[in-house]
Structures are given as C-alpha cells and as structure tokens.
Amino acid sequence: MIVSKSFRWSDARSVIAIIAALTMSFSIQARGEERVLDTLQMHGFLSQALIITDDNDFFGPSSEDEGSFKFTEIGANVSLRPHEDILLATQVLSRRAGGDGSNARPMLDYGIVDYQMLSNQQRTFGIQLGRFKNPFGFYNRTRDVAFTRPSIFLPQSIYFDRTRSLGLSADGASVYAEERFENGIVRFQGGIGTPTTRDLATQLFPPDLDSSVDGDTSSIAQLMYEHDDGRFTAALSTADVNLDLNTGSQHGTLNFQPWILSLQYDTGSWALTSEYAIRNLAVSGHGAIRESDVTGESWYIQYSNRFYENWQWLIRYDSLISDKKDRSGKAYEKQGLGPAHSRFAEDITMGLQWSVHPRILLAAEYHHVDGTAWLPIQDNPVSSETSRRWNMLLFQLSLRF
C-alpha cells in the first residue's frame, strides 16, 4: 500500500465526509431511517487524579503542598452503522496532563469509516479510513478509558505518557483481519499514515526554544494470537515512525523503530503479563537537534489478581534503558548532556482498584522509581535538578456513561 507524503488529516476528513454521505444516503433508502438510528451508540467517561511525589514533578507541581490535580481526562464517543458492512465511529477527548491547561482543549482522538468487506464464522477482513488507533502492545488502543487499564498509569517503559500523542493514533488507512480456529484466533492489523504530534515539541525540546514537530508518512503493524478464549495471548508489534523537527531556523528528522513482544496468561481470577521492546531511535540535524542513533530496551512483568467481586490489585516491575550501549548513562553524563539517571528508569508499582459500581471506579497506586528517563520535560525543564530516586502516590476517580 502506498500513501503520498502529502496525505494529511484534511484529506482523511474529506474521505470520511464523502463516504459517510454516500453510505448514509444508501442505507436510509434501503433500510429506513429508524433502523439506522437504532444502531446509534453514545458513551463518555471522566477521570480525575491526584498525584503526589516526594521529589521531581509529574503532570504538574506534584512535589509541592498537597500535590497536583492536573491530570484530567474527559471523553465522548459515538458510533453508527448506516449499513451492515459499514461502521462510522469517532471520539473526542479533552486531556490535561500538567502544563498550563492549554493542552486540555478537546481534540479528535479517533475518527474512522470502517468497511468490513468480509465477515463469516471463519474469517473477517476490513479497512479503516481516517484517524485510527495505533495497534501496539496490549493496551494502546483502549488506553484512554481508565476502566480498560490495569493501573492508573500504564508501564511507562512501553506506553510513554509524556509522548502519548505520537503513539496514540495516525491519520491514514489501516487494514485488519481475523482468522478463527477451533481453539484460537489470529488477528492482524496494519496501517500507514501520518502520526499525530500534538504537544510533542514540548516533550522533545526545552520550553524556551521555538520548536515544532510534524509527522511524516509512517507505518505500524501487529500480529496477535489468542488461545482458549484469551487464556493465553501473544502479540508482536512493530512500527516505522518518521517526524520532521524544527527549532527556529534549524531542521532535522527523527526515525523511531520499535519491536514489541507481548505475552499474557489470564485465568480469569489472576493474570501474568509481560512485554519486551527493542527501540531504535535515530535523529539527524544540528544545533539543538543533536544527532544520535541509539537502541533502547524496555520491559515489564506484571501480576494482577481479582479478589472478591469488584476488587483488583497488582504488582509490577518496569524497566527502561535509553541506550543499550550506555545502560548506566555514565557516558551520556561525561559528554555533558545531562545526568546519568536521565537515561534509565526502574519502577516498582503496586496498585489497587475498586469497582464501586459498573460506572464508578476508584484506584490508588504507589511507584518507587530509580531513574528519570520518562519524566515529563515540561514539568522538569532542568534535568540536573531532578532526583535519581523518587516516589509517587496516585489516587483516581473514574466515571463512565
């Protein structure tokens, strides 16, 4: 599949508008307006967290006074099936994660026209056009809804929250397929398009620089196997992400190529989950855009247990290394680029969730972290002033309707 580098979200919106108009017209004539509206579904969610740290800041001034309330997620989604083979779905999200609140303006989280050209008891094949969710790991496509996450924050070594927009979605086209067997299902999804880069510049460059980051044509794919109704699940995800970097009159490019292996064994009452990633990051440029070509390593192992009817607890070890050739970060520090501890992070997490009601979720979480590799730059602009070892305590209330 080939997509022009000039493909942008404006093109995707035009495609959606045209297809939506045609399919709506066809379906209303063929099935009647009432039958179409019967397929309309609307849902929403809201989450508010309190973050407290003893050192360093995460999503606001979390190390000061009573902590930070600057982590809020509000979303609404709607879907409609104008024809039995066509689904229209979209979600708008307002998310504040630190900062001055400007990043909380509502944005299109995803918006797709899904045409399922083949569907029977054995296999499914379809195509999506628009802004689609990137298929990587176990949690990325549903990470916005707190009820679908095993913890308040997902493992930061795999699911970076500080560069969340880059991994979340892309504007373009994706295909998906399922093949069903007696004891399992094989799923594939792959896409090509332009990654979203909202607020990414503030996480890649110091705030005093006049910088911008734009997405270029990229691709992503995932192959997943589920055995025995999800008792055992394995997935392999990969991507080739390209960005254009600009700081004033200086220009550069960034290429990111991760490979992620995901494994899970779930008995229904407890689950053991692990994901491992190799990440190559190559940057070309000059000046503030420092040239580099490094391969990082990420992995975590997580045990979660559902006890009683509405409670779940978990424990997780999460490890992130920015450069496999400089695991301790000492060579990075000797070059005067920053503290050694900014190149790694080891996180021990313990969490507890209580489903008070099917629409109400309370969660608490504790992190003990050695390293600052995934700390948000906007909250910690001077890396030399950060502490290597720090603790974080979180509480979150989530609602859905």
pLDDT in tens, 219-265: 999 999 999 999 999 999 999 999 998 887 788 899 999 999 999 99
pTM of the model: 0.87
Would the pLDDT of 117 be above 90? yes
User: What CATH number was assigned to the domain covering residues 50-62+116-400?
Assistant: 2.40.160.10
In the chain, what percentage of residues exceed pLDDT 70? 89
Could you tell me which residue, 36 or 154, shows the higher pLDDT? 154
Q: Return the DSSP state at 380.
A: -
For the chain, give every domain's residue range.
50-62+116-400
List the single range of 111-120, 161-170, 297-306, 350-359 with lowest mean pLDDT: 161-170
Encode pLDDT of 193-221 as tens digits. 999 887 777 777 766 677 788 889 999 99
108, exposed or middle or buried, with CB in 10 Å at 0-12, 13-18, 19+? Answer: middle
Could you tell me which residue, 256 or 377, shows the higher pLDDT? 256
Could you tell me which residue, 162 or 39, shows the higher pLDDT? 39
- Asked if 152 and 197 touch (Cβ cutoff 8 Å), the reply is no
Encode pLDDT of 265-320 as tens digits. 999 999 999 999 999 999 988 766 788 899 999 999 999 999 988 999 999 999 99
Per-residue confidence (pLDDT) for residue 7, from 0 to 100? 37
Mean pLDDT of 79-84: 92
Contact partners, residue 111, CB within 8 Å, separation at least 6:
12, 13, 16, 89, 90, 91, 130, 131
Would the pLDDT of 22 be above 90? no
Per-residue confidence (pLDDT) for residue 34, from 0 to 100? 64
Task: Please list the alpha-helical segments (H only) found in 139-209.
Answer: 164-168, 201-204
Mean pLDDT of 50-74: 93
Q: Would you put residue 67 in left (φ > 0), alpha (ψ -120 to 50) or beta?
A: left
d(CA 332, CA 61): 27
Would the pLDDT of 5 be above 90? no
Per-residue confidence (pLDDT) for residue 271, from 0 to 100? 97
Per-residue confidence (pLDDT) for residue 97, from 0 to 100? 86
Per-residue confidence (pLDDT) for residue 100, from 0 to 100? 67
- Mean pLDDT over the full length of the chain: 88
The pair of structure tokens assigned to 239 is 């991507």
